[in-house]
Structure 1
Amino acid sequence: MGFECKSPAEPITLAVVGCGQRGKNYSAYPLDEPHKCKVVAIAEPRPKTRQLFADAHGVDDTLVFKTWQDLHKASAETIETVGKRLADAVIVAVQDKMHLEVVLAFAEQGYHILCEKPMATSLEDCLKIEAAVKNADIIFGMGHVLRYSPYNKALTEVVHSRELGELVNVVHVEPVGYYHFAHSYVRGDWSKEAESSFSLMTKSCHDIDILCHWLSPAIPTRVSSFGSLNHFSKAKKPSTAGDALRCLDCSINEECPYSAKRIYLEPVSRGNTRWPASTIVDGIPDIENITDALRSGPYGQCVYESDNDVCDNQVVNIEFSSGATVSFTMVAQTSLICDRQTRLHFTHGEIVGDMSQFTVTNFRTGQATTYHPKNEGGGHGGGDLGLIRTFVEAVRTGKQELLGTHVSEVLNSHLTVFAAEHSRKEGKVVNCADFTQAARGGLGM
């Protein structure tokens, strides 16, 4: 690996590229466990967000940068002059389309990398990242946080123990949440495929990843998918909304479930400045800043007048080499927010879970046992914390295997997501082996 192992007494040093919601979530661990890791450098274009983040972590002013390019340049100068990098590892939490250039730049300098999902927004870029990570021989963590929550770790242990026999079918639902979808995929940064990627990739690539993880060592053989942008379009706009283009000017903003006033302004007025309000302004989300954002920015637009184009409902069916089948649903119109509903069917039992608890029924013994794994907080039921904690330990010991995955496995689950979207758009069942061969052949790999 690019670094020697460090003793437990030495904290792993981190550079954070992108200090938004995901960057903050991963960086909560250094604040809670400063003897394990420390943020020593950051890059963030928004001035207030940048300063608040730097102050929270006590980052030296000389290591606070406006752009990732500035951080990269300073790193290059340090490597050249003193033969040392600015940090042990880089957390890449920038917008999805930037992942390729940032990962490639810091991998080339030998940094270990934790990259937020998705790996990249195109097949070609994912393949380039795989090649760069392998060439640099670095620890690589992927923001597939579902793997690392106490809930899913406990569930996965039961699955892989084979105490219920062979896994033959999974039904898995991702209830995105009606106002979460409106926030992120209608008004937000993931609303247009050309500027980010398709919603199955940006929202649910870690669902496909954990499904593949549960079925491993079997691999996907065929995939089909159906879905569309069903609701969030001008054709579905209530007639009572009239010609209003923005929520604060709309006569039905008190009753519309997607009213920006209800989603952002009213919670802030009650003192709730957390997500989603915290993501739409630079700095502290107070009533004045939120009101200004709703009057002039995308988060105040009518969801039926926005220029979004990604699916708000999609079904993916996967056949595995073992003969097992999977049905995955991503849907916007739910009251639950990301609390996955899962049924796993085995030859001698079943597991039914909801991200909070799961019940294991053993057909041979007739016994049903319900498990209540601890939610450690910090996002995704403790998955965010679990990932950064595991990544830091992998960097400290130089052991990629601690993460339970590697860059090629990450790529393979992404390939399944791309294959599913190809099926949806082309209206045909996709042979996964042929799809992978064509993808790698396109780059001469």
Structure 2
Amino acid sequence: MFNCLFIELNVVNTSFNLCYSSQGARMTESPVRVIVVGAGMRGEIYCNFASMHPERVKVVAVADPRKFACTKLQQQHKIVDENIFEDWPGLVEREKFADAVLICTPDSLHKEPAVAFAKKGYHILLEKPMATTAEDCRAIVKACTESGVMLSVGHVLRYDPVIHKIKELIDAGVIGDVMHIQHFEPVGYYHFAHSYVRGNWRNEAESSFALLAKSCHDIDLIHHWAGARRCLKVSSFGSVSHFGKESKPKGAGNRCLDCSIESTCPYSACKIYLDRVKSGHTGWPVSVICPSSFPDIESVTEALKTGPYGRCVYECDNDVCSNQVVNMEFEGGLTAAFSMVAFTEEICKRKTTIYGSKGELSCDRHEVRVFDFLTQRSTKHTANNNVPMAFSTSGHGVADYNLMNAFISAVENNDPSLIRSGPEETLLSHLLVFEAERSRLESRVVDCGDIGQSETPDKHRH
């Protein structure tokens, strides 16, 4: 099992100091100037890197329609007033005045700024997923390729030392030929209620389908571990379950603050948000429901009275899968199985077992265990999970830090090889996600022989 939260890590990472060229010196002495488009949680986390390494990164502009979010980053990074924008087009209209842009807008708003900034010559770190349609994903890659700019997609788990260790061991042949990959993502019962029932990813028309929004990380990892082997076929099953009017308990109200049976509901907004802020916790998920103010008891209570996060989970407009399985067949006989489940105690503590012809590999948080069939012995391989304090409580901790370190290093040295989640491979794994969703919607096995020409699944076609 490996944990994508890594909340307890708090010392300096040395495993990703990639800011030097092959000659041993940085190709530029001045800080990399970055623009932030979307000053939400992801944008703020990435900007922590600039606070820790001001000699390497300078945040010079921010665009976000929320004044509170802009002001927060402006004060943290001393951004001049003329570089604060409500939306990104104003930034593109100006002469190029930075080296790179961090695009952390909502999923459905990725394509237009990514293409525009690429054409302007900015290197891009784009939060995952790349976009919500296959066509838009291709358009982003095409724009970056034609403009000669680097694209790093925010598949942060690629930069997790445990994931990197797994890939190293596979490539070293320690378990022989990979025969099967078993991968599981427990979303977490209150995490799913927060993000996918009440929150921004609850409705496909407003964001994207769950496999893309939540689990494109995981399909990308399977594709990464499979290496050069092409996926031949994919099948998928999943459903929208439990969170609907038909499951609403008798006597339940429309809002948790006014519900007579709130104390008996595990998905109560009072438990998820109010109880946390009362105990002094103001980070995720509490911080999300108060985007225009610091979360305290008064602001959280008001948000639950009037906002989407105070609604009964059985009275929301969510239409995304709460559980889904994906099965894949790759060249050479490799098979893979992925499961995503909402109803779990653990939150995002993914579990992976990889079966090879000479051994078996499994993960347990900060180490990888390999059982050798010949010697019948187990060997533990420890990954370096150390990160600076500023990243120890972020959503993906060590991986967030390493992603930013790699991207800034790539820009410093004009070396795209330092990016582990570049355009072409990431596009292929995204297209595999779209094909898996096509399989679920059309109730059939999908042939991926020409995956590069895949179209976005039409949920109305059967």
Q: TM-score range by the shorter chain?
A: over 0.9
Structure 2 CA distance for aligned equivalents of residues 219 and 354 of structure 1: 28
Instruction: Give the secondary-structure state (helix, strand or coil) at the position aligned to 2:408.
Output: helix
Q: What one-letter code is carried by the residue in structure 1 that aligns with 2:69?
A: T
1:177 has 2:188 as partner: yes
347-356 vs 292-301, which moves further: 347-356
Q: Which runs of 5+ in 2 are unaligned?
A: 1-24, 457-462
**C-alpha displacement at 1:7, in angstroms?**
3.3
Normalised by the length of structure 2, the TM-score is 0.89
Counterpart mapping for 1:34-433 below 5 A = 34-73=54-93, 76=94, 79=95, 85-241=96-252, 244-281=253-290, 282-375=292-385, 376=387, 377=392, 378-433=394-449
Instruction: Give the secondary-structure state (helix, strand or coil) at the position aligned to 1:304.
Output: helix
Instruction: Give the secondary-structure state (helix, strand or coil) at the position aligned to 1:309.
Output: coil
- Assess if the C-alpha contact under 8 Å between 2:181 and 2:335 holds in 1: yes
- Assess if the C-alpha contact under 8 Å between 2:155 and 2:421 holds in 1: no
Q: Give % identity.
A: 46
Q: Which residue among 30, 36, 58 is the counterpart of 1:16?
A: 36
**C-alpha displacement at 1:225, in angstroms?**
0.1
Structure 1 CA distance for aligned equivalents of residues 410 and 301 of structure 2: 44
**C-alpha displacement at 1:381, in angstroms?**
4.5
Q: CA RMSD in A?
A: 1.7
- Assess if the C-alpha contact under 8 Å between 1:247 and 1:300 holds in 2: yes
Please list the CA deviations of residues 153-184 of structure 1 after superposition, one character each: whole Å capped at 9, or x if unmatched.
12221121112211110110011111111111
**C-alpha displacement at 1:255, in angstroms?**
2.6
Structure 2 CA distance for aligned equivalents of residues 230 and 355 of structure 1: 30
**C-alpha displacement at 1:265, in angstroms?**
1.0
Q: What one-letter code is carried by the residue in structure 2 that aligns with 1:33?
A: H
Q: Which runs of 5+ in 1 are unaligned?
A: 80-84, 441-445
Please list the CA deviations of residues 185-234 of structure 1 after superposition, one character each: whole Å capped at 9, or x if unmatched.
11111111111110000001011111101111101110000000111111
What is residue 82 of structure 1 aligned with on the other side?
none
- Assess if the C-alpha contact under 8 Å between 2:353 and 2:363 holds in 1: yes
Q: What one-letter code is carried by the residue in structure 2 that aligns with 1:351?
A: L
Structure 2 CA distance for aligned equivalents of residues 8 and 264 of structure 1: 45
Number of residue pairs aligned between Structure 1 and Structure 2: 426
